[in-house]
Chain A
Amino acid sequence: MLKTYRYALTSRSGSEALTEVLRSAGIPFLRAPIPSSVRTYYDSFDWRLRKAGLLLFTERRGERLRLFLREARSGLNVVVVDVSDAPRYSDELPRGLIRDRVGALLCERRLLPVACVRCRGESFSVLDEEGKTVLRANVERRRAETGDGEVRLPEDLELSPLRGFDKPLNRVRALIERHLDVEALPGHGLDDALRAADRSPQDYRVRPRPSFAPDEAAGDALRVVFLELLAVVEANEDGMRRDLDPAFLGDMRSAIADSRALLDDSGDILTAPHFAHYRGELDWLLYVTAPAHVLDAELGGLMRCAAACPDGALDRFLAILRARRMDARRDLLQALASQRYRAFKAGWRAALETPDPRWTSGPAGTPLYDAVRHMLRRRLDRCAGHGSRLAPGAPDDVFHALRAEVGRLHCIIEVFGRALRLGDVRRTAGVVGDLVEALDEHHALGGLAATVCAQSASDDAAGKHDRAFQDAIERVTADINACKEAAAKRCVHAYSRLAAGVHQKRLRLAAGEREQETCP
């Protein structure tokens, strides 16, 4: 398979050494200096491109800015294109494969600069008898930007083959490995830059998945989970404060909601009164983060709808929502800068880190396996209670109640399912995840419909009669309702998958019930 080869040059100047090797072998080549360039790597906050084996980076040389989509494994360029600005969202990417592939992975996530490398060096074009380039080699001196300054990376020699010209690659590669003092470099440029900045690509976390022993004290295991969830809250704080992507707030909230849900579910294990205090504080955090999060979702939904409306028809409404979001974010940032938030974090961390019999003795000492099965059973029963009322035309309350329960069920499966080997329950996690997703979408669309309706009513009350705006609102409302209806159907479908057959059986078995009790 065609791939790029990278070497770290250990002793002498790479360019001179390579020139000498190529000359002595009688290989024709062109040598040109690479002017100072800045390579910036992009990915979403949750490293979606990297996980899909892709590298997206821009390279600025003077005025020219080029965007590269590269396969991480082979190091080969998929697409290279000149751009005027670095893209921030997938719809700002050039049309064609680059937008199709990256857009499908990113969805609405923002592209964030994850690493930056400054390069200088020289490029070599190995030629054939027609004067055509059959192999490219770059010798680069690189400096990676870190938070505190710049770190020098080893001088690197990269051989980039061209499709259909394998022989020159193999020949030059053999020469380099025989005659130059080189060391094969694993990975790619992004890896080098991240290592230099002391970062790892997986330093972003959403839901923790620690490992446990089944007979571990449930209280102690929960303590570990709470610590991890607190770390997730803290990891997302900076991105949320800088407003890099709405997903930072979304994931921060998820971690808070998971902590709150697990504290609730473990009410009969963690019985000490001070847990009630933290339940209250987590409730407060959910309360203060809600408005900004809801507005993020509404703005996202409305912007999607606006694309189908005439240009500018919804601008006034978007401006109103943006202003509300700014207010909500200001309140949120104030809350997070408050003494109460600092005290909560410090107190909660101290409570989690300090050895304390409250985590291990009494009911908290229950084996984790039993405790989780109990939690699962209780949550399943509640889901079944609300789920039995679910139908495409059911009132929103039914969907909301089920959403709260299924979200918690998903959390238990995700956090403990793998570690405790609760039968095949992990294979059901995907179905529960689908249901959570559909319920979330239904919920968000319901919120957006209510906001649109309220805005329209407020315009009417104020005597504003903007025909174009009203037309757009009507169209958007119809779109939202259609999407909500579709989401409701997906919810019912996902729930029916979960409530029947193999998934229900797995869940019930995991919860410690006998097979004959499986049908809700």
Chain B
Amino acid sequence: MKILACYNIKGGVGKTASAVNLAWLSAREGFRTLVWDLDPQGAASFYFRVSPYVPSGAEGLMQGMGLRSAIKATDHDNLDLLPADFSYRNLDLMLGKAIRPQRCLSALLKPLETEYDYVFLDCPPGITLLSENVFRATDVLLVPTIPTTLSLRALDQLLKFCRREGLNDFSILPFFTMVDVRRALHRRVVDELPRQIPAMLSNFLPYASEVEQMGLRRSAVNAFAAQSRSARAYEDLWWEIKMRLEWIEDGGLRTTYAEAERMA
């Protein structure tokens, strides 16, 4: 089981859309896939038409109760969802009370190891105790980044945080989202940043209306607009992520924050 977290300190960068679409593509390829909507806003749950409700609540989940029974099948084959719950807003408080507060998420996901090939974590923004749990649990941190100054600053903050905390046993794969190639700044950043951060994925997601339509259709882009530019971009991105995962598994490329920073 590989755990991939869609995470960024900054909000509104396309974390949920990326998690939903990449998970959908993974499931379509026959991989058993789970999306865990960790964001109390419950956007991923909304996209999959599942009520953002976990019977045991965040507290129950943290105590290891009702995780399996909270999992819901989506309308798509091989794709399940662990829905959001409003009580997730208190996750940090609950994690703080745990004996190993930074390892709770990995311990919770451990029993699902044989059930799923990929688990996508749709994380809320911010750097909190939950984020640290995500860093400890994940194999790959997918960081959707808009090619703007503030987004790049957030990426820089993330890299610095990981270095300071000594979090170096996962790979960080940033990628650009909402790229508007008509804008000079976007073009320049998309062109230059991958040279500075080799871990940066070369495929990016264009700014497109199909992604916004996900809210209306309540489904993944590839499910309702398979021929669109966004759908193809998600396919290319998923292909590149799989390639990177293979390289990482083979020990060929393991780009961590330290390497990324050194190269920069």
- Is A381 in contact with chain B by the CB < 8 A criterion? no
List the B side residues contacting A67 at CB < 8 Å: 30
List the A side residues contacting B48 at CB < 8 Å: 132
List the B side residues contacting A94 at CB < 8 Å: 29-30
B78–A132 touching, CB < 8 Å: no
- Please measure, in the bound complex, the distance between the C-alpha atom of A133 and the C-alpha atom of B50, giving whole angstroms: 10
| A 206-226 binary contact with B (CB < 8 Å = 1; else 0) | 000000000000000000000
B73–A79 touching, CB < 8 Å: no
Q: Count B interface residues, CB 8 Å.
A: 21
- Please measure, in the bound complex, the distance between the C-alpha atom of A163 and the C-alpha atom of B80, giving whole angstroms: 8
B49–A81 touching, CB < 8 Å: no
Given contacts A163-B80, A164-B70, contact A79 B28 (CB under 8 A): no
List the B side residues contacting A95 at CB < 8 Å: 30
| A 90-115 binary contact with B (CB < 8 Å = 1; else 0) | 00001111100000000000000000
B70–A96 touching, CB < 8 Å: no
B128 smallest CB distance to A (angstroms): 28
- Please measure, in the bound complex, the distance between the C-alpha atom of A82 and the C-alpha atom of B77, giving whole angstroms: 11
List the B side residues contacting A356 at CB < 8 Å: none
A163–B30 touching, CB < 8 Å: no
- Is B61 in contact with chain A by the CB < 8 A criterion? no
Which of A81, A130, A164 interacts with B78 by CB under 8 Å?
Answer: A81
Given contacts A96-B29, A97-B117, contact A80 B49 (CB under 8 A): no
- Is A131 in contact with chain B by the CB < 8 A criterion? yes
B34-88 contacts to A (CB < 8 Å): 48-51, 69-75, 77-78, 80
- Is A165 in contact with chain B by the CB < 8 A criterion? yes
Question: Which residue of the partner chain A has the closest CB to B116?
Answer: A97
- Please measure, in the bound complex, the distance between the C-alpha atom of A81 and the C-alpha atom of B29, giving whole angstroms: 6
| A 57-85 binary contact with B (CB < 8 Å = 1; else 0) | 00000000001000000000111111000
A343 smallest CB distance to B (angstroms): 52
- Please measure, in the bound complex, the distance between the C-alpha atom of A163 and the C-alpha atom of B69, giving whole angstroms: 9
Per DSSP, chain B at the interface is loop
- Is A162 in contact with chain B by the CB < 8 A criterion? yes
List the B side residues contacting A165 at CB < 8 Å: 72-73
Given contacts A97-B117, A164-B69, contact A133 B75 (CB under 8 A): yes
A130 smallest CB distance to B (angstroms): 4
- Is B31 in contact with chain A by the CB < 8 A criterion? yes
A164–B32 touching, CB < 8 Å: no
- Please measure, in the bound complex, the distance between the C-alpha atom of A434 and the C-alpha atom of B218, giving whole angstroms: 56
Which of A78, A80, A130 interacts with B51 by CB under 8 Å?
Answer: A130
A477 smallest CB distance to B (angstroms): 27
B70–A79 touching, CB < 8 Å: no
- Please measure, in the bound complex, the distance between the C-alpha atom of A94 and the C-alpha atom of B218, giving whole angstroms: 28
- Please measure, in the bound complex, the distance between the C-alpha atom of A98 and the C-alpha atom of B30, giving whole angstroms: 8
A77 smallest CB distance to B (angstroms): 7
A164–B73 touching, CB < 8 Å: yes
- Please measure, in the bound complex, the distance between the C-alpha atom of A97 and the C-alpha atom of B115, giving whole angstroms: 9
- Please measure, in the bound complex, the distance between the C-alpha atom of A296 and the C-alpha atom of B261, giving whole angstroms: 55
Which of B51, B73, B117 interacts with A96 by CB under 8 Å?
Answer: B117
Given contacts A97-B32, A97-B117, contact A130 B49 (CB under 8 A): yes
Question: Which residue of the partner chain B has the closest CB to A78?
Answer: B32
List the A side residues contacting B78 at CB < 8 Å: 79-81
| B 167-210 binary contact with A (CB < 8 Å = 1; else 0) | 00000000000000000000000000000000000000000000
B25 smallest CB distance to A (angstroms): 12
Given contacts A133-B75, A163-B72, A164-B69, contact A96 B30 (CB under 8 A): yes
Q: Give the B-binding residues of A (Cβ under 8 A).
A: 67, 77-82, 94-98, 130-133, 162-165
A-B contact pairs, 13 of them (CB 8 A): A78-B32, A80-B78, A94-B30, A95-B30, A97-B31, A131-B49, A131-B218, A132-B74, A133-B75, A163-B71, A163-B80, A164-B72, A165-B72
Q: Give the A-binding residues of B (Cβ under 8 A).
A: 28-32, 48-51, 69-75, 77-78, 80, 117, 218
Besides A67-B30, A163-B73, 12 more A-B contacts (Cβ < 8 Å) are A81-B78, A82-B28, A94-B29, A94-B30, A97-B31, A98-B30, A130-B49, A130-B51, A162-B72, A164-B69, A164-B80, A165-B72
